[in-house]
Structure 1
Amino acid sequence: MSDGRPHTPGKWRPSLALIIGLVLATVLALPLVGLFFFRFYENQLIQRTEAELIGQSAVLAAVAAQMAGEAPELPLGAERPRAPPGRAPDEPYDPIEPRLDLAQGPILGRRPDALPSAKPADPAFLEIGRRLGPILVQAQASTLAGFRILDPRGVVIAGREEVGLSLAHVPEVAAALRGEVRSVLRTRISRHPPPPVYSVSRGTSVRVFTAMPIVVGDRLAGVVYASRTPSNVVKQLYEERGKLALAAAAILAVTALIGLLFSRFVTHPVHQLIRRTAEIGRGDRSAIKPLERHGTREFAQLSESFLAMAASLQERSDYLRTFAAHVSHELKSPLTAIRGAAELMLDAAPGSMTEEERRRFLGNILADAGRLAALVNRLRELARADNPPIEGETNLGAAAAALRTAQPGLAIRLDGDPALRLPLSEENAGIVLGHLADNAARHGAGTLTLSARRDAAGLALLVRDDGGGIAPGNRARIFDTFFTTRREEGGTGMGLAIVRSLVERHGGTIALDEETGDGAAFRIRLP
């Protein structure tokens, strides 16, 4: 049932906490994602450099192995296993994958210096080194990689100023002399300090080293020892500036989306509510309606609560304005009569007023004073009915017993279980039923019947009397404050208004039963 107040459509809306949480999570994720991307990209450069060195070393190792195979008198080194663990002996392919990881792998110190060899290299190996020297120089000019060719004892046979010195004590070289392929990251010592912008990259301070054995048949014929500094991240990013521009555009789009979300779900509803508050404050009743856009669930609830409060205050203001006009009118009539009678008695000359006239004037004054007292009492009861204590309950039998005591001239009948619980305190039940019984007695009723039953919607209570009933022309106004057909008999017209106010404060409704037959009947629904 609609109460005439604005209601927000009950569709799903995100909560304000959810919106703020998503925004904060996005803001937190952006730098983390950027850092992850930066580290991932830098690691890719490291592995790409490692893969290039492995490929170049494999080619040089094949060339050196061919040269060594042409010299039968060459003293080869230890026997190398035919197949690594996990690979079939007859498998023709032996791929070497890059394994360096800048984020998790160790970074060793700078490469140890070459040491003098205890025994000079064999002349046959030196001849191979002499023949490979120009090839290494040309390869370094194109690839920027440094190459060293070592004999089976780790002595450099090709590699510029280190020829004749030993690198057998270097861990990766020692592993290659055992027949393993080994790659490591080492700290790079540059002759020139890097530009400040390069300092954002960890990769610029490292150098990739690979050591690959040279194998002739099943025996070790030496090692290709290669190294190179990875490509700089900043340089690579500059070369990929088009893609970076797209990434920047994506970040700007995300930022704009965040701003749009805040505007859509937070800022706009707040401004709407501020404007609506100002309009209602200026007395614009048309402003008491749902907002065009609520945004989050909290703003929808806030706006609905605010508009409901505004509508309630507006109704209360109208009620108080009308009520004040009625009260002033109801009080004015008896006060005017009292004042007129008092002035007549005061202005009458001695002996000009008979005792009968004097008593009639005094009787009128007392009757009007009684009416004023009744009005004041009813006003006090109405005030209590507007804000009653709604705790407590009673049963139908106890309410009927109290009614019999209060209305001894009226027969009270029960149609229902006397133990049925009424969701009204004993005092509030007495007020509701007392006013209905008083109206029935004043309209000539001799019997009042209480019928009660409970269903899924709550309690249904029917109060029926066998009096004169209510004229059809008055039925629409019986709950109006100060409406009465017994004004000359002292009626205040506030009894049914008090009953309705009290029932509604308990969340219920009261209505006149249209199919009453003789007498009047009221249907009360209580949750």
Structure 2
Amino acid sequence: MALPLVGLFFFRLYENQLIRQTEGELIAQGAVVAAVYADAVRTAGIAPEQLGAPISADPSRDNNYPYEPIEPQLDLASDSVLPSRPAALPAAADPAFAAIGARLDPILDETQKTTLAGFRLLDPHGVVIAGGGEVGQTLAAVEEVRTALTGAYASALRLRIPDQPTPPLYSVSRGTKVRVFVALPIEIDGRVAGVVYLSRTPNNIVKHLYGERGKVTLAAIAIVGGTLLIGLVFIRTVSRPIYALIERTKRIAAGDREAIRPLAHHGTREMAELSAAFLDMATKLQARSDSIQTFATHVSHELKSPLTAIQGAAELLRDSGGAMDEAERRRFSNNIVTDAGRLNLLVRRLLDLARAENLAPSGESTTLNAALTLLPIDTRLELQKEAGGDIGLGISAENLGIVLANLIDNSARHGARLVTVGAAGAGDRVAIHVGDDGDGISAANRAKIFEPFFTTRRETGGTGMGLGIVLALLKAHDGTIRLVDSERGTRFEINLPALI
């Protein structure tokens, strides 16, 4: 977006440079004409009183006599463009100066044929004595001439009078509509002896660029080539990976598991990060979907067994009529009550698991000792506290109590008589160890204990969801749990954030 503005700025800067160049050329030509004219005045022996106004010393000028350079000072951006030059007015020239002008007029005409500049040679009173068809008329009313008659250099930008229509392409250039005017005073013995008044239309930027069309064409080819190269790089590094990722999302949405893999080309580092984040999300969603499918299968199986038993017992009671004795009727009725109780327990445990998986950290904290005080007294075993009971933990006492209660209940149901609980801090994490002296876990079952509905005591009412609830609660608090080796019984290690 900034490139056109920058280009316009340099366009105007270059156009202004052409104005300055034209002014410098006119100053150089005027200086030569002024030197020739001054020599002619001295040779003619014109008296000082016939000259113009005295020139006062300028304290701002550098004291580097006899060198007195005049620098171009026009600025297309800041100087106002004056109207076209006013017409000359009738006047009478001093015969002595008119004779000098008549001798120099052919020289000015020949010079104009080469430089294309307009020359007007003025006497000390502003009357034209040589150059063009205005000889014998005065230009003293022109602003820059009036300044030069006081002995000061003057220049101006004026609207030019075109001799033919300006081509449409030239309308982009402001410099095509102006003409540079330079009024150079001629000094003899500290007085104004005349003025060299020059003008010329500056070189047009479009015309100048046309003159350099070979270089401009090469530059245009380079720009187009660079643009195409940037486009190809953009397509390969940005567009192509984006389209590949879009195609990959469609395949994943259609259930294609083979599509969950990195792209062949990422192009940019940001695209690689985006692709990695997307594939990680897809992997997690796929794992979540598989988990939900497996969970639904387990739930349907766990609910189907007691429902089938209840339905079978109810049908037997219904169809037996009076043929079934009281003992059998009571046995089937007890089966219905037992299976209904199991269904009720399964539903409650499912609700507990759902709450644990969707639990948001409350920001509360506790200690191991505070959580143990919330546990009900279990007469089936002895609880032994070890070191670290006062270490701060990033979990509420209620939730930590639920975790410990499930682990202790599992120990009691597997023959344990003693449970030991302790904690040890390590930086910003705390390790809690819960061990027992029970039957332990067989090597074949060690990898399955955290799977939902896995249990080895289904006949005694086990649902296999206790450790799933423990794992979900700990994940909600940035914690973990793992089974560690133990010489006897079972030993779990819980890792939680420390309270800092």
Question: Where does residue 316 of structure 1 map in the other structure?
Answer: 288
AA partner of residue 6 (structure 2):
V
Cα distance in structure 1, aligned partners of 2:100 and 2:200 = 23
Say if 2:499 is the partner of 1:525. no
The worse-fitting range, judged by mean Cα deviation, of 38-47 and 453-462 is 453-462
User: Cα distance 1:402–1:80, how it changes in 2: closer, same or farther (>3 A)?
Assistant: same
- Deviation of 1:408 after TM superposition, in Å, equals 4.4
- Structure 1 stretches of 5 or more lacking a match? 1-27
| Aligned counterparts, 1:108-507, within 5 A | 108-117=82-91, 120-253=92-225, 255-256=227-228, 259-260=231-232, 263=235, 266-293=238-265, 302-343=274-315, 350=322, 355-395=326-366, 396-403=368-375, 405=376, 407-507=378-478
The worse-fitting range, judged by mean Cα deviation, of 335-344 and 323-332 is 335-344
User: In the TM superposition, what whole-angstrom CA distance separates every residue of 1:246-298 from its partner, at most 9, and x where no partner exists?
Assistant: 34334434544664565456533432232111110121112223444556777
AA partner of residue 116 (structure 1):
P
Partner SS state of residue 473, structure 2: helix
Residue 400 of structure 1 contacts residue 414 of structure 1 at CA under 8 Å; is this kept in 2? Answer: no
Partner SS state of residue 445, structure 2: helix
AA partner of residue 62 (structure 1):
A
Cα distance in structure 1, aligned partners of 2:168 and 2:31 = 36
AA partner of residue 44 (structure 1):
Q
User: Cα distance 1:292–1:301, how it changes in 2: closer, same or farther (>3 A)?
Assistant: same
AA partner of residue 111 (structure 1):
R
Question: Where does residue 13 of structure 2 map in the other structure?
Answer: 40
Select 1:68's aligned residue among 41, 66, 86. 41
- Deviation of 1:229 after TM superposition, in Å, equals 1.4
Question: What's the C-alpha RMSD, in Å, of the aligned pairs?
Answer: 2.8
- Deviation of 1:80 after TM superposition, in Å, equals 4.1
Cα distance in structure 2, aligned partners of 1:198 and 1:86 = 39
Partner SS state of residue 493, structure 2: strand
TM-score after normalising by structure 1: 0.85
AA partner of residue 136 (structure 2):
G
Partner SS state of residue 218, structure 2: helix
Cα distance in structure 2, aligned partners of 1:320 and 1:160 = 101
User: Cα distance 1:198–1:364, how it changes in 2: closer, same or farther (>3 A)?
Assistant: closer
Cα distance in structure 2, aligned partners of 1:260 and 1:275 = 21
User: In the TM superposition, what whole-angstrom CA distance separates every residue of 1:151-200 from its partner, at most 9, and x where no partner exists?
Assistant: 12222111232222222232222222222222211121234443333322
User: Cα distance 1:199–1:350, how it changes in 2: closer, same or farther (>3 A)?
Assistant: closer
Select 2:22's aligned residue among 37, 44, 49. 49
Residue 357 of structure 2 contacts residue 476 of structure 2 at CA under 8 Å; is this kept in 1? Answer: yes
| Aligned counterparts, 1:69-108, within 5 A | 69-74=42-47, 75-80=50-55, 85-88=60-63, 91-108=65-82
Cα distance in structure 2, aligned partners of 1:197 and 1:365 = 99
- Deviation of 1:462 after TM superposition, in Å, equals 1.4
Cα distance in structure 1, aligned partners of 2:329 and 2:194 = 145
AA partner of residue 351 (structure 2):
R
User: In the TM superposition, what whole-angstrom CA distance separates every residue of 1:56-97 from its partner, at most 9, and x where no partner exists?
Assistant: 1111111112222212245434444678734225x3322222
Partner SS state of residue 140, structure 1: helix
Residue 387 of structure 2 contacts residue 423 of structure 2 at CA under 8 Å; is this kept in 1? Answer: yes
AA partner of residue 435 (structure 1):
N
Cα distance in structure 2, aligned partners of 1:67 and 1:431 = 119
Taking only the aligned residue pairs, the percentage that are identical comes to 57
- Deviation of 1:346 after TM superposition, in Å, equals 5.3
AA partner of residue 480 (structure 2):
T
Cα distance in structure 2, aligned partners of 1:390 and 1:294 = 37
AA partner of residue 76 (structure 1):
L
Cα distance in structure 1, aligned partners of 2:315 and 2:184 = 131
User: Cα distance 1:127–1:419, how it changes in 2: closer, same or farther (>3 A)?
Assistant: same
Higher relative contact order (CA 8 A, sep 6+): 1
- Deviation of 1:460 after TM superposition, in Å, equals 1.9
- Deviation of 1:314 after TM superposition, in Å, equals 1.2
Partner SS state of residue 186, structure 2: strand
User: Cα distance 1:394–1:448, how it changes in 2: closer, same or farther (>3 A)?
Assistant: farther
Cα distance in structure 1, aligned partners of 2:318 and 2:58 = 137
User: Cα distance 1:350–1:215, how it changes in 2: closer, same or farther (>3 A)?
Assistant: closer
User: Cα distance 1:231–1:389, how it changes in 2: closer, same or farther (>3 A)?
Assistant: closer
User: Cα distance 1:447–1:295, how it changes in 2: closer, same or farther (>3 A)?
Assistant: same
Residue 152 of structure 2 contacts residue 185 of structure 2 at CA under 8 Å; is this kept in 1? Answer: yes
AA partner of residue 29 (structure 1):
A
Residue 360 of structure 2 contacts residue 476 of structure 2 at CA under 8 Å; is this kept in 1? Answer: no
Partner SS state of residue 155, structure 2: strand
AA partner of residue 325 (structure 1):
T
* Count of residue pairs the alignment pairs up: 494
The worse-fitting range, judged by mean Cα deviation, of 303-312 and 130-139 is 303-312
Partner SS state of residue 452, structure 2: coil
Residue 406 of structure 1 contacts residue 434 of structure 1 at CA under 8 Å; is this kept in 2? Answer: no
- Deviation of 1:307 after TM superposition, in Å, equals 2.8
The worse-fitting range, judged by mean Cα deviation, of 429-438 and 405-414 is 405-414
User: Cα distance 1:73–1:310, how it changes in 2: closer, same or farther (>3 A)?
Assistant: closer
Cα distance in structure 1, aligned partners of 2:357 and 2:386 = 30
Residue 389 of structure 2 contacts residue 422 of structure 2 at CA under 8 Å; is this kept in 1? Answer: no
- Deviation of 1:506 after TM superposition, in Å, equals 2.7
AA partner of residue 139 (structure 2):
L
User: Cα distance 1:340–1:123, how it changes in 2: closer, same or farther (>3 A)?
Assistant: closer
The worse-fitting range, judged by mean Cα deviation, of 164-173 and 516-525 is 164-173
Residue 157 of structure 2 contacts residue 178 of structure 2 at CA under 8 Å; is this kept in 1? Answer: yes
Partner SS state of residue 45, structure 2: coil
Cα distance in structure 2, aligned partners of 1:381 and 1:82 = 104
The worse-fitting range, judged by mean Cα deviation, of 146-155 and 386-395 is 386-395
- Deviation of 1:50 after TM superposition, in Å, equals 0.9
Cα distance in structure 2, aligned partners of 1:487 and 1:523 = 25
AA partner of residue 317 (structure 1):
S
The worse-fitting range, judged by mean Cα deviation, of 361-370 and 500-509 is 361-370
Residue 46 of structure 1 contacts residue 208 of structure 1 at CA under 8 Å; is this kept in 2? Answer: yes
Residue 393 of structure 1 contacts residue 421 of structure 1 at CA under 8 Å; is this kept in 2? Answer: no
User: Cα distance 1:73–1:383, how it changes in 2: closer, same or farther (>3 A)?
Assistant: closer
User: Cα distance 1:424–1:210, how it changes in 2: closer, same or farther (>3 A)?
Assistant: same
User: Cα distance 1:314–1:94, how it changes in 2: closer, same or farther (>3 A)?
Assistant: same
User: In the TM superposition, what whole-angstrom CA distance separates every residue of 1:313-332 from its partner, at most 9, and x where no partner exists?
Assistant: 21122112222332333334
